[in-house]
Amino acid sequence: MLYSAAYTRLYIPEESRSVNRFLRIIVIFTIFMNTTSPYRVLFVCLGNICRSPAAEIIFNALAGQAGIAGQVQADSCGTASYHTGSKPDARMLDALERAGYRYGGHRARTFRRADFSEFDLIVPQDEYNEQDIRQLARNATDEAKVRGMWQWFSEQEKEHSVPDPYYGGPAGFDAVVALLTRSIQNLVEEIKMQIAD
Protein backbone atom coordinates (compact mmCIF):
# COMPACT_ATOMS: atom_id res chain seq x y z
CA MET A 1 0.00 0.00 0.00
CA LEU A 2 2.75 2.36 1.05
CA TYR A 3 4.69 1.36 -2.01
CA SER A 4 1.74 1.89 -4.36
CA ALA A 5 0.97 5.38 -2.92
CA ALA A 6 4.58 6.40 -3.34
CA TYR A 7 4.58 4.97 -6.84
CA THR A 8 1.39 6.86 -7.71
CA ARG A 9 2.78 10.13 -6.33
CA LEU A 10 5.96 9.71 -8.33
CA TYR A 11 4.28 8.37 -11.43
CA ILE A 12 1.69 11.11 -12.03
CA PRO A 13 4.10 14.08 -12.14
CA GLU A 14 6.37 12.12 -14.43
CA GLU A 15 3.48 11.38 -16.78
CA SER A 16 2.31 14.98 -16.88
CA ARG A 17 5.91 16.07 -17.50
CA SER A 18 6.08 13.86 -20.56
CA VAL A 19 2.63 15.06 -21.74
CA ASN A 20 3.91 18.61 -21.35
CA ARG A 21 7.06 17.79 -23.27
CA PHE A 22 4.98 16.13 -25.99
CA LEU A 23 2.66 19.17 -26.30
CA ARG A 24 5.65 21.51 -26.46
CA ILE A 25 7.13 19.46 -29.32
CA ILE A 26 3.77 19.61 -31.19
CA VAL A 27 3.57 23.41 -30.78
CA ILE A 28 7.18 23.92 -31.93
CA PHE A 29 6.64 21.56 -34.87
CA THR A 30 3.42 23.41 -35.89
CA ILE A 31 5.16 26.81 -35.75
CA PHE A 32 8.08 25.38 -37.72
CA MET A 33 5.75 23.93 -40.39
CA ASN A 34 3.80 27.19 -40.72
CA THR A 35 6.84 29.41 -41.00
CA THR A 36 8.71 27.20 -43.45
CA SER A 37 5.87 26.05 -45.70
CA PRO A 38 7.15 26.77 -49.24
CA TYR A 39 5.21 28.49 -52.02
CA ARG A 40 4.46 25.67 -54.46
CA VAL A 41 4.30 26.15 -58.22
CA LEU A 42 3.20 23.53 -60.76
CA PHE A 43 4.02 24.04 -64.45
CA VAL A 44 1.75 22.18 -66.88
CA CYS A 45 2.02 21.38 -70.61
CA LEU A 46 0.71 18.55 -72.79
CA GLY A 47 3.36 15.82 -72.56
CA ASN A 48 5.54 17.04 -69.65
CA ILE A 49 8.66 16.35 -71.67
CA CYS A 50 9.37 19.75 -73.31
CA ARG A 51 7.88 23.03 -72.03
CA SER A 52 6.82 22.34 -68.43
CA PRO A 53 9.96 20.46 -67.31
CA ALA A 54 11.99 23.29 -68.89
CA ALA A 55 9.88 25.82 -66.94
CA GLU A 56 10.50 23.84 -63.73
CA ILE A 57 14.28 23.73 -64.30
CA ILE A 58 14.44 27.44 -65.20
CA PHE A 59 12.25 28.39 -62.23
CA ASN A 60 14.50 26.50 -59.80
CA ALA A 61 17.61 28.17 -61.24
CA LEU A 62 16.14 31.69 -61.18
CA ALA A 63 14.61 31.25 -57.71
CA GLY A 64 18.10 30.24 -56.54
CA GLN A 65 19.63 33.36 -58.12
CA ALA A 66 16.90 35.50 -56.48
CA GLY A 67 17.75 34.00 -53.07
CA ILE A 68 14.33 32.35 -52.52
CA ALA A 69 15.22 28.71 -53.28
CA GLY A 70 14.35 27.64 -49.73
CA GLN A 71 10.96 29.33 -49.83
CA VAL A 72 9.60 27.88 -53.08
CA GLN A 73 9.04 24.46 -54.55
CA ALA A 74 8.40 23.64 -58.21
CA ASP A 75 7.11 20.61 -60.07
CA SER A 76 5.74 19.97 -63.55
CA CYS A 77 3.28 17.62 -65.22
CA GLY A 78 1.31 17.03 -68.41
CA THR A 79 -2.38 16.96 -69.23
CA ALA A 80 -1.79 13.79 -71.32
CA SER A 81 -0.31 10.56 -70.00
CA TYR A 82 1.50 9.17 -73.04
CA HIS A 83 4.99 10.11 -71.81
CA THR A 84 4.50 9.20 -68.14
CA GLY A 85 7.80 8.11 -66.56
CA SER A 86 9.95 9.54 -69.39
CA LYS A 87 12.89 11.92 -69.04
CA PRO A 88 12.48 15.33 -70.71
CA ASP A 89 12.95 15.30 -74.49
CA ALA A 90 16.69 15.16 -75.32
CA ARG A 91 16.32 18.19 -77.63
CA MET A 92 14.94 20.23 -74.72
CA LEU A 93 17.74 19.08 -72.42
CA ASP A 94 20.26 20.14 -75.09
CA ALA A 95 18.64 23.58 -75.41
CA LEU A 96 18.62 23.99 -71.62
CA GLU A 97 22.29 23.01 -71.47
CA ARG A 98 23.15 25.53 -74.22
CA ALA A 99 21.50 28.21 -72.05
CA GLY A 100 23.44 27.09 -68.97
CA TYR A 101 20.70 25.19 -67.09
CA ARG A 102 21.08 21.75 -65.49
CA TYR A 103 18.52 18.92 -65.46
CA GLY A 104 17.67 17.70 -61.96
CA GLY A 105 16.15 14.29 -62.78
CA HIS A 106 12.44 14.98 -63.37
CA ARG A 107 10.25 12.20 -64.85
CA ALA A 108 6.99 12.93 -66.65
CA ARG A 109 3.72 12.57 -64.80
CA THR A 110 0.08 13.43 -65.49
CA PHE A 111 -1.91 16.20 -63.80
CA ARG A 112 -4.26 14.95 -61.07
CA ARG A 113 -7.09 16.73 -59.23
CA ALA A 114 -5.17 16.52 -55.94
CA ASP A 115 -2.62 18.93 -57.48
CA PHE A 116 -5.16 21.71 -56.88
CA SER A 117 -4.75 21.11 -53.14
CA GLU A 118 -1.01 20.55 -53.21
CA PHE A 119 0.03 23.67 -55.15
CA ASP A 120 -0.46 27.40 -54.64
CA LEU A 121 -0.06 28.28 -58.30
CA ILE A 122 -0.73 26.18 -61.43
CA VAL A 123 0.81 27.50 -64.65
CA PRO A 124 -0.36 26.03 -67.99
CA GLN A 125 1.89 26.75 -70.94
CA ASP A 126 -0.82 27.23 -73.58
CA GLU A 127 -4.57 27.80 -73.78
CA TYR A 128 -5.32 24.10 -74.46
CA ASN A 129 -3.51 23.05 -71.26
CA GLU A 130 -5.37 25.83 -69.47
CA GLN A 131 -8.78 24.60 -70.71
CA ASP A 132 -7.99 21.00 -69.75
CA ILE A 133 -6.90 22.02 -66.24
CA ARG A 134 -9.84 24.37 -65.69
CA GLN A 135 -12.26 21.56 -66.59
CA LEU A 136 -10.90 19.57 -63.64
CA ALA A 137 -11.25 22.44 -61.13
CA ARG A 138 -13.54 21.51 -58.23
CA ASN A 139 -14.41 25.03 -57.10
CA ALA A 140 -13.53 28.72 -57.38
CA THR A 141 -10.44 28.26 -55.15
CA ASP A 142 -9.01 25.72 -57.63
CA GLU A 143 -9.86 27.99 -60.57
CA ALA A 144 -8.11 30.96 -58.98
CA LYS A 145 -4.83 29.02 -58.80
CA VAL A 146 -4.66 28.61 -62.60
CA ARG A 147 -2.71 31.39 -64.35
CA GLY A 148 -1.27 30.92 -67.84
CA MET A 149 2.47 31.40 -68.37
CA TRP A 150 1.65 34.35 -70.65
CA GLN A 151 0.56 36.36 -67.62
CA TRP A 152 4.27 36.96 -67.00
CA PHE A 153 5.20 37.72 -70.63
CA SER A 154 6.74 41.13 -71.18
CA GLU A 155 5.05 43.50 -73.64
CA GLN A 156 7.82 42.81 -76.18
CA GLU A 157 6.64 39.21 -76.71
CA LYS A 158 5.00 38.33 -80.02
CA GLU A 159 3.68 35.03 -78.65
CA HIS A 160 0.37 34.60 -76.81
CA SER A 161 1.41 31.32 -75.18
CA VAL A 162 4.50 29.11 -74.97
CA PRO A 163 4.72 27.49 -78.44
CA ASP A 164 4.95 23.71 -78.60
CA PRO A 165 8.46 22.95 -79.97
CA TYR A 166 7.91 19.16 -80.25
CA TYR A 167 7.49 18.92 -84.05
CA GLY A 168 10.14 21.52 -84.91
CA GLY A 169 13.93 21.90 -84.93
CA PRO A 170 16.48 23.05 -82.32
CA ALA A 171 15.78 26.77 -82.90
CA GLY A 172 12.24 26.26 -81.57
CA PHE A 173 13.60 24.69 -78.38
CA ASP A 174 16.08 27.57 -77.92
CA ALA A 175 13.26 30.08 -78.44
CA VAL A 176 11.12 28.36 -75.76
CA VAL A 177 14.02 28.40 -73.28
CA ALA A 178 14.59 32.12 -73.95
CA LEU A 179 10.88 32.96 -73.65
CA LEU A 180 10.55 30.96 -70.43
CA THR A 181 13.66 32.61 -68.99
CA ARG A 182 12.27 36.11 -69.61
CA SER A 183 8.81 35.25 -68.23
CA ILE A 184 9.98 33.26 -65.23
CA GLN A 185 12.20 36.18 -64.21
CA ASN A 186 8.96 38.18 -63.88
CA LEU A 187 7.20 35.33 -62.07
CA VAL A 188 10.06 34.91 -59.57
CA GLU A 189 10.04 38.68 -58.88
CA GLU A 190 6.30 38.53 -58.19
CA ILE A 191 6.62 35.55 -55.84
CA LYS A 192 9.58 37.16 -54.07
CA MET A 193 7.51 40.26 -53.32
CA GLN A 194 4.56 38.11 -52.21
CA ILE A 195 6.75 36.10 -49.82
CA ALA A 196 8.23 39.29 -48.35
CA ASP A 197 4.75 40.73 -47.52
Using CB under 6 A, list all residues that contact ligand 4NP. Answer: 45-51, 78, 82, 164, 166
Round to whole Å and give the CA distance between 5 and 12. Answer: 11
Kindly report the CA angle at 83 between 79 and 88, in degrees rounded to 5?
100
Q: Quick one: DSSP state of residue 70? A: G
75, 89, 126, 164: which is the annotated catalytic residue? 164
Nearer to ligand 4NP, 46 or 96 (CB): 46
**What sign has the CA pseudo-torsion 78, 84, 89, 90?**
positive
Tell me, yes or no, if 164 is annotated catalytic.
yes
Tell me, yes or no, if 120 is annotated catalytic.
no
Taking the complex as a whole, the smallest distance from the CB of residue 155 to ligand 4NP amounts, in Å, to 24
Round to whole Å and give the CA distance between 163 and 92. Answer: 13
Residue closest to ligand 4NP, measured at CB = 47
Kindly report the CA angle at 189 between 183 and 192, in degrees rounded to 5?
140
Nearer to ligand 4NP, 51 or 145 (CB): 51
Tell me, yes or no, if 51 is annotated catalytic.
yes
24, 50, 51, 89: which is the annotated catalytic residue? 51
Residues with active-site annotation: 45, 51, 164
